[in-house]
Amino acid sequence: MKLYSIPRKIKTFIFDIDGTLYTSPEFVAEQVDVQIRHYAHINGISEDSARSMIEDYRKKWSAEHGGKKISLGNTFPAFGVDIETSIKWRNELLQPEKFLSPDLKLKEFLGELKKSFNLICVTNNPVKAARRTLDAVGISDLIPEVIGLDTCMKSKPAKEMLELAAKKTSSEFSECVSVGDRFDIDIALPLELGMGGILVDGAHDVVKILDEISDKIY
């Protein structure tokens, strides 16, 4: 876990979902690969060729943007897959139930966190797919709002998604903390906007957040 600019007064925690509210490298990888496999089948190319094309594009993009990383949602348009199609694929192809199970420790922690703070999720998956993931982990009832790929028709990092998260929780940017597992996707933009940021490596880190920041807030 790494902390960035934690506000003294926090009103809202903005959580990423995948790789953040569960710990399953297998499902994180499968979410990307199942879409690439689907792209390969539709276009009549081998799965390995599709993987190489996507990987090469992302490496080139990163080299041209100071080492930053680009999400799959923002990569696909370069291959003729628009946001609407990406939403459709994700809703049809993702199967969190096969990889995830209820996390009672996380559920207990978020239940306590919700007593003092607003909780909202911002994800690059569409809301339906995101809700299925939260259901699989057993925490959907603790997250009142999910802002997804189909909410703003944008893929993170996107200012519009964070603006909406702040609006829905009646919070200023300076009262929000973004929690995620990828710095360039989940943390960098929130910091630019004046939010705090917490970089985690899965749910086992999330449940330690209050212990890590208790001496920095009031």
Residue 10 Cα distances to 113, 118, 131, 175, 210, angstroms: 11, 9, 25, 5, 11
Mean pLDDT over 53-67 rounds to: 96
Percent of the chain with pLDDT over 70: 100
Contact 143, 120 (CB under 8 A): yes
Last residue of a domain, one of 97, 126, 153: 97
Q: Is 143 part of a structural domain of the chain? A: yes
Pair type for strands 196-199 and 2-4: antiparallel
Query: Could you report how far apart the first and last alpha carbons of the chain are, in Å?
Result: 21
**Is residue 218 in some structural domain?**
no
Assess whether 80 and 184 both reside in one domain: no
Instruction: Answer yes or no: do 75 and 114 share one domain.
Output: no
pLDDT on residue 7: 94
- Give the pLDDT of residue 195: 98
Amino acid code (one letter) for 215: D
Let me know whether 158 and 65 are in one domain: no
Say whether both 87 and 129 belong to one domain. Answer: no
Quick check: 214 pLDDT over 90?
no
**Cα separation, 93 vs 83, whole angstroms:** 15
Full residue range of the structural domain in which residue 50 is found: 26-97
Do 180 and 89 fall into the same domain?
Answer: no
pLDDT tens digit string along 164-178?
Answer: 999 999 999 999 999
* Average pLDDT of span 135-147: 98
Same domain, 123 and 160: yes
Question: Which amino acid does the sequence have at 67?
Answer: G
User: How many structural domains are present in the chain?
Assistant: 2
Tokens 């330690």 belong to 208
Helix (H) or strand (E) holding 31: helix 25-43
Asked if 139 and 199 sit in the same domain, the reply is yes
Query: Using one digit for the tens of pLDDT, what is the confidence trace for 175-203?
Result: 999 999 999 999 999 999 999 999 999 99
- Could you give the residue ranges of the DSSP H alpha helices within 124-187? 127-137, 149-152, 159-168
Average pLDDT, the chain: 96
How does pLDDT run across 148-158, given as a tens digit for each residue? 999 999 999 99
Q: Which of 97, 113, 137 is the last residue of a domain?
A: 97
Indicate the residue among 73, 97, 121 that finishes a domain: 97
Predicted local confidence at residue 215, as pLDDT: 84
Task: For residues 114-129, give the mean pLDDT.
Answer: 97
Whether 129 and 161 share a structural domain: yes
Q: What DSSP letter does each residue of 53-120 carry, written as one string?
A: HHHHHHHHHHHHTTT----HHHHGGGGT--HHHHHHHHHHH--GGGT----HHHHHHHHHHTTTSEEE
The pLDDT value given to residue 216: 80
Task: Write out pLDDT tens, residues 68-118.
Answer: 999 999 999 999 999 999 999 999 999 999 999 999 999 999 999 999 999
To 5 degrees, how large is the angle CA 112–CA 115–CA 120?
90
Pair (195, 109) in one structural domain: yes
